[in-house]
Structure 1
Amino acid sequence: MTPRTALEALTARPLGFLGSAWPWRALGYLLSGGPLGVGAWVAVAGLVASRGRIGGWAAAVCAVLVLAFVTALAGPLERARLPLIAPDVRIAGSGGSGGTARTAGPGADGSRAVVYGAVSVLAAGWIDLGVVFVSLGVPGVLLSAPLQPDAPVWAAFGGPVAGALLLPVAAYPITAWAGARGSVARAVLASGDAELSEVRQSRARLVDAYEAERRRIERDLHDGAQQRLVALTMKLGLAGLDLPPGSRAAREVADAHRMAKDALTELRELIRGVHPQVLTERGLPAAVRDVAGRSAIPVDIALDLPHRPPPSVEVAAYFAVCEALANAAKHSGALRCRVEGRLRDGVVEIEVSDDGRGGADATAGTGLTGTADRIAAVGGRMLLSSPVGGPTRLRMEIPCGD
């Protein structure tokens, strides 16, 4: 598995980790943050040293302004260098859309960013440089032993060997500290709903993968098993024509022919349940008309979609309509159903209503809970109105995205 962050990279095998770019990324991450804090303190030290010429109050005000300015820069700098150790975890600027975590803005999140910047300037940047210098300094001193004029012979020869052995080890504390710093930065600079946004992204990816697998199974069944059953049914029909009418062989072939046709019908129903081909080829209105034509009660359809929604929206809406019509036929005692739909302001709105007895309950095991979950997975919502005595109205609102 390809690591997504520096901390995940540490779990790889030593040769794989040391041969990757992660140690260099971690080193660049730590070195890119330290100079800001060092520069701030050098500037403050210079102002303190010159307080006799510019005045104590002026030096104090300038020092505070320098620290405030550097603290304000710490957040943007952290966002700019964070991809070095977490390239797949993005923290975009405020107003980010989609699944990108939003940057901390005004309020509590902004206060955390300011505090983080102050801590980064006052201490964390120095610790970054300290970890780098200690981790690389020990093997560096050993490697430079032959250059020291008063080094004993054993140190001159053994030092470079020990330094060369310790140098790869230095990659581990550097990467570990960089990964820990990056985790803290993500937790502080990301807004409070960043984790929820990631969960929604993950759920949407799972739904897309699930539907892609359903389409693959549908294609395999349609192009494989169904075609073989069609060929078998035709061969059995032709074989029956060549047999004497009323003979035992003719009756056996006729029974086999009938069972093959029944199996073909069941397979076609199974394919529709997995992923209807008409939905893929002709879109949601045609697929709804197809399922309405097989409904046990009459269904009126009024769908006005000027263009096809995204495939995930079509799939969610189709199976929601199927579930609603199935519930109406089984539980409502309705004499007629109606399916209405439109595309308004980038949102697909579909309503399924019937004239039955009402009293539908989403928690009563009628499949409405699964339908609501399916719609929520693509960012939509489901509304149910079913008073006792009817009518029942099931409304779905699914955004189509950009």
Structure 2
Amino acid sequence: MGREVTSGGPRTGAGVRRRGLRRRPEPVRARRPWGGAVSTAPVRRLVAQPPLRYLSSAEPWWALAYVATGAGLGAVSLLVLGVLIGLGLLLSVIGVGVLMPVGAVLLSIPLAEIERRRLRMLEEPGAPAAEAMHAPVEQPGLRPWLAVRLREQVTWREFAYAVVFATVFLVVNLALLVPTVLLGAMLAVPPWVAYRTGQPEALILTAISLPAVPVALYGYGAVAALQARLARLLLYPPDDGGPERDAQVVELTRSRARLADAFETERHLIQRDLHDGAQQRLVALVMTLGLAELELDGAERGGGEEAVRQGAELVKRARGEAKEALTELRDLVHGIHPQVLTDRGLAAAVSEVAVRCPVPVRVELEVAERLPRQVEATAYFVVSEALTNVAKHSGASSAVVSGGWSAGKLTVTVHDDGVGGAALRVGSGLQGLADRAAVVGGRLVLSSPPGGPTALNLEVPCPPSSSASS
């Protein structure tokens, strides 16, 4: 695989990005959209700094860039939204006008993503990409995509932002840019006139305009900070946990859907195993006992020793078939939830799995306390699936299961010296394990570069439990 992949639970740390989920930037250093390392303090906080510190920084000019690009983007957005809504009204007489307002709503999705990127000009915390904010569309085609998007709350929040951005924000930005252009003219034109005409009196206008420069710079910062704050409030309502919570909800929704599919698949597998295995054994057992009954009835009617011997052979064969059926049922139940895990805990169950693995496995798992039942089951199946993959696909000569419980966290690592190249794919067993880990609040990290080695690490926060039933 050559890269780290994780489950859909809450995650931190390096190497945990998946499907657009991003970490909140660290409050140390950040980069502007077009390069250049700068302070990460938002503009609204820098405005409260000492005047010389603020005016000598690049923040007012980034604020001006934010306002100027907002005016241009707002004008284009107003034009597009107006055209679509106007066409919708005109075409409503032939019954297709509703498509235009729908298009206006959907166009707010890329506009919101552009605004998330523009917020970085003011060093607002980064937000997930648009595809991470929206729920996944499981079915192909335009109609399912439209049905999902138009039912989402985030789509209508983005449309509300687009309307405000193309109206209120546009008016405010233009109202600020017009005096800016006049101020620029007052600063630039008089020196040029004085140079061309030789009349230094024209520089008086420039001198009069100079005190307005710091006022304008503060105005840019205040307006930009206010717009950025309003934009975030519209794109992310308060008290919803912010963009990280939105992305987590989306990923947990996907994880729940995958688990539902996995459970349905497991149900069909159990049904197939019962039908093809234990049920066939029991049918054969019934038939064998029926034949034995016929032979013994014949012996009672004078069939002789041969009939008795054949009846005894049939009973013996029926006994063997009953044992085989019982073994298959035990194996099936063991795959659902092994009895040793319930009776003796995680360490003993993992040791039993290691003994059955055809590849030599060393177990270094220190779990003195009983853990919650769901946590033990998750860790057990992670180890079981990992060792199955080691035996089938890795070409490894040995494997190690290590870890333990400490400070309220269970850590289990399965390491092998195989060829590597394992991958986490949708519908795979490893993806199912990652979803299991997410359900109990844990995460699964797989590192398997081509050539090996492979390490599968499970981390689950959990308290100790006095019994497995907790």
Greater relative CO (CA pairs within 8 A, separation 6+): 2
Give me the TM-score of the superposition, normalised by structure 1.
0.42
Give me the TM-score of the superposition, normalised by structure 2.
0.36
